[in-house]
Structure 1
Amino acid sequence: MEVKLDTTLMLAVYIITFVTGLPANLLAFYAFIQKFRQKPTPIDILLLNLTISDLIFLIFLPFKMKEAADGLQWNLPKFLCPLSGFIFYTTIYNSTFFLMGVSVERYLGVAFPIKYKLHRRPLYAVIASVIFWLFSLSHISIVYIMEYHNSTDSTEHSKNSCYKDFNEEQLKILLPVRLELFVVLFCIPFLICVFCYVNFVRILCKLPHISPQRRRRAVGLSLGTLLVYVLCFGPYNVSHVVGYVYRKSPDWRHFALLLSTFNACLDPIIFYFSSSTVRKLLNNILKRMVGNLQLTCCYRYFYCQQWSCTGSEEVTQSSNETS
């Protein structure tokens, strides 16, 4: 009963993330591609890479849905197991790096506006993006190592599961790597984010010529990003530390991992606060929707009025003929 409840919850979270995250990220991707045809800024490049990472994650998410629907049994081709896990975990740490990059870009822009404007180059954001991708991919290669290292000792149950049950030899390698992920790929980016956004808001609020709307947007961006770190990435990465201390994965680890999946549908909210390109595109779409809705309502109103008038005339004419 407990396993069935867990799988039902997993499936629900995966479906919600897929249904909400896919259209939102596709919209953001379209906005950034349009911006690239003009003149992209460093923050556009960072957010585009984050969008691509989220989209790749969402494309592979149906495999996790199938796993949850089958009661956490992996009934798909075996090579898809490490591949889907590799994509799944890479997206988590891609997000921590690219959100950190956005926070650094924002902080430098207000702390050293003149110097940063003189040295601001999209090429630097491209180089940073390549480094972030390589760093995440190299660390998450542990998924493939665990899949094929000493797997002959696995039980029949673990052979039908995907990246869940490990023997003692595998844990000797996996647990220290997870601790490194916690320190290097979570704690350091998170502390940099906190430093940058606290000072970003502090400096921005002291500037006299900044409009209240921009201040609110800055606070929303900062709180939203830090909230994603704490809620989406915090519990999962804390499970690395708990697992290292107790020499086994905690029972609540899969619930923590579910919170990480919500990141794919929360990132577009950060895009809205971070990029004027996304805001303009979303505002234009909403205006078109409202305009179409108004046209539809006006058409129905005039149509109904005309129909009512015509119907009234027909009734009057019919009465006159009768009399």
Structure 2
Amino acid sequence: MSMEVDLHGLFENFSYNYKDYVYIEDPEDPESGGGTAVFISVLYSLAVAVGLFGNGLLLVILFLKRRSWSVSDTLILHLSVSDVLLLLTLPFWAAQAALLDGWCFGGFLCKLSGALFNINFYCGIFLLSCACLDRYLSIIHGIQSYFQEKPKLVPLTCLFVWVIPLILTIPDWVFMVAAKHSKQEKTQCVHNYSYFGTDQKLVYRLPHHILGFLLPTAILFISCSCILLRLQRSSEVLRTQRAFFKIILPLVVAFLLCWMPYNITLIVDTIRDSSRELGVLQPGHESLETALMATKVLGCIHACLRPLLYFGLCGKFRKRALTLLGCGEVEQEGSLWELGVGKEAPPEQNHNEREELKQMMTTMTDHQVQSAQC
């Protein structure tokens, strides 16, 4: 009887050539990592808590002084409403990052959340552009402030500011979908620009890049730069336009610091995808999904920063907020912001009125002296 056992070459020596072996790494979902998902969820939760509390307190103070409503209050109101709308969508984005299944709220909420994200950006940059342009025309060209001359038309201006974002967010309502990525099992609420069969990302992003970002940003930069140069040359203008340095300029700087990284990354992503379609770049170019996600989080956090800026920069608002939290009596008269827009008289007008009053008092005194001598 043969006792040999066939081991099928178990202990035989083989040599393999690994030179041609290529390791293909699966694309990593930027929100799939446990640490990243927890960090994003916590960050969104803090933004919601701080933002809703701050903006809620701001709205309460505004409506408590509704008898002395100014144009500045109207502008701040619309900015706050746009922030609240964005903050209400952050729990959904936090859940998408934390849940293993990703987005589980359906297609309608996906489209709504994507649209409100861009509406907040559009309203913020358009309203700030209007305020800076109004100051630019008043300080540089000596044109009577539009907001002071025709305050009743300000609500129409704000309505126009809301209509433009609604038009610019049509691509979000069309192309935002909740679907699984081709190489991932996690459902994502993302734009699908191949809705009509071809990827035309450049065509649908171009209005956002030009009308929503580049043009208003140019207005902000030009108007603010000219105002700063003028204020630097004239000490009198610098004294009377302290509100620009104190309120408007910090709001513009904070807005651009939070939103510019996202929009620049979005422009780079659009250019890269367009170049790939034209054959300039190979299909395997570096992905910008992680950068877009990080900068998007920064833009969302801005929704809770404005009330903190008001509290730190506006003494009257800080006083009324502390009074309201202490259940005290809130004053009903006066402007909270001193933005130089609205029914309140500008500093130049107050200065001129003081000079005229002094001249009138001097003239009356001279007449009295002459009468006494007679």
The alignment's TM-score, normalised by the length of structure 2, stands at: 0.65
Contact 1:175 1:243 in 2 (8 A): no
Q: How does 1:63-82 map to 2 (within 5 A)?
A: 63-71=92-100, 73-82=102-111
Give 1:136 deviation, angstroms: 0.7
Measured against aligned partners, the alpha-carbon deviations of 1:219-276 in whole angstroms (never above 9, x if no partner) come to: 34354234234321111111222122211872211111111012101222454588xx
User: In 2, distance between residues paired with 1:135 and 1:159?
Assistant: 34
Match of 2:260 in 1: 234
The answer to whether structure 1 residue 40 and structure 2 residue 66 are counterparts is no
Give 1:26 deviation, angstroms: 1.4
Contact 2:180 2:186 in 1 (8 A): no
Cα distance change on mapping 1:118 and 1:49 into 2, 3 Å:
closer
Match of 1:280 in 2: 316
Q: How does 1:188-267 map to 2 (within 5 A)?
A: 188-205=215-232, 206-208=234-236, 211=239, 215=242, 217-247=243-273, 250-251=288-289, 252-267=291-306
Give 1:52 deviation, angstroms: 0.8
Cα distance change on mapping 1:76 and 1:180 into 2, 3 Å:
same
Contact 2:54 2:307 in 1 (8 A): yes
User: In 2, distance between residues paired with 1:255 and 1:152?
Assistant: 21
Cα distance change on mapping 1:239 and 1:209 into 2, 3 Å:
closer
The answer to whether structure 1 residue 185 and structure 2 residue 212 are counterparts is yes
User: In 2, distance between residues paired with 1:199 and 1:64?
Assistant: 40
The answer to whether structure 1 residue 17 and structure 2 residue 47 are counterparts is yes
SS at 1:256's partner residue? helix
Moved over 6 A (4+): 151-154, 288-292
Contact 1:220 1:273 in 2 (8 A): no
Higher share in helix: 1
Cα distance change on mapping 1:15 and 1:154 into 2, 3 Å:
closer
CA-atom RMSD, angstroms?
3.5
> Which entry has the higher C-alpha Rg, 1 or 2?
2
User: In 1, distance between residues paired with 2:119 and 2:112?
Assistant: 10
Give 1:6 deviation, angstroms: 2.8
Unmatched runs of 5 consecutive residues or more in structure 2? 1-27, 275-286, 329-374
User: In 2, distance between residues paired with 1:53 and 1:160?
Assistant: 27
Match of 2:78 in 1: 49
Aligned residues: 284
Measured against aligned partners, the alpha-carbon deviations of 1:173-196 in whole angstroms (never above 9, x if no partner) come to: 333322331221111111111222
Cα distance change on mapping 1:12 and 1:152 into 2, 3 Å:
closer
Cα distance change on mapping 1:250 and 1:286 into 2, 3 Å:
same
Give 1:132 deviation, angstroms: 1.3
User: In 2, distance between residues paired with 1:153 and 1:7?
Assistant: 17
Match of 1:28 in 2: 58
Say which is worse superposed, 229-238 or 254-263, in terms of deviation: 229-238
User: In 2, distance between residues paired with 1:143 and 1:62?
Assistant: 19
Given the alignment, which residue of 119, 136, 143 partners 1:107? Answer: 136
SS at 2:127's partner residue? helix
Give 1:171 deviation, angstroms: 6.6
Structure 2 counterpart of 1:98, one-letter code = L
Contact 2:114 2:176 in 1 (8 A): no
Contact 1:233 1:259 in 2 (8 A): yes
Give 1:71 deviation, angstroms: 4.5
The answer to whether structure 1 residue 90 and structure 2 residue 119 are counterparts is yes
Cα distance change on mapping 1:223 and 1:170 into 2, 3 Å:
farther
Match of 2:164 in 1: 135
Cα distance change on mapping 1:140 and 1:289 into 2, 3 Å:
closer
The answer to whether structure 1 residue 161 and structure 2 residue 199 are counterparts is no
Match of 1:306 in 2: none
The alignment's TM-score, normalised by the length of structure 1, stands at: 0.74
Unmatched runs of 5 consecutive residues or more in structure 1? 293-323
Give 1:49 deviation, angstroms: 0.8
Structure 1 counterpart of 2:301, one-letter code = F
Structure 2 counterpart of 1:79, one-letter code = F
